[in-house]
Structure 1
């Protein structure tokens, strides 16, 4: 891994999951708070592509797909700050360690109490 000018770890390849993929602030997440969301084929290439945000299981599925496979632009477009923070305790269990740690290191408000 390379180190950025601010001393944080950066993953130089597209195969990694580094902080450069994340928004600068969670407030940038401008995704829908309700209704249905349709993901493009490059994110949801297998199975369901339309997700009803009123159904928590579908919302969690959408967020898992976007968090694991998305780019910074996808995060901003499809994720909603309030949903992410509210459902993070469940979502974090659905994500790989590297994804979970990258988001929690960048946004301490996502960490569970006592896991600083």
Structure 2
């Protein structure tokens, strides 16, 4: 199982393959910037990016908002891989 142990606060610089247009540095102490960075990584990242840039606790605590910011396929993939995310969305697995 993949463990997400990315940074939890302060500035984070995303590489060009993730943030190729616009903002590349995100301050994780600012919820708006954290959500923006997580959306980018969730939708365009690869496994190594998830491990490097996402933190499991932050992902879980912000998932109710993040799940609305990503497409259905991304949302289903993440909730399928990390069933604990479903606990924070108001629905449980069937």
TM-score clears 0.5: yes
> Any residues of structure 2 matched to 1:105-116 within 5 Å, and which?
105-111=80-86, 112-116=89-93
User: When the two structures are superposed, what TM-score results if normalisation uses the length of structure 2?
Assistant: 0.92
**Structure 1 spans left out of the alignment, 5+ residues:** 1-23
Hey, what does 1:85 align to over in structure 2? Answer: 60
In the other structure, the counterpart of 1:72 is 47
Q: Distance in 2 between matches of 1:114 and 1:56?
A: 24
Q: How far is the alpha carbon of 1:30 from its aligned partner?
A: 1.4
The C-alpha deviation readout for 1:66-105, integer Å capped at 9, x for no partner, is 0000000000000011110000000000001111001101
Q: Which runs of 4+ in 1 moved over 4 A?
A: none
Which structure dedicates a bigger proportion of its chain to helix? 2
Larger Rg, first or second structure (1 or 2): 1
Q: What's the Cα RMSD here? A: 0.9
Unaligned runs of 5+ in 2: none
TM-score, normalised via structure 1 length: 0.75
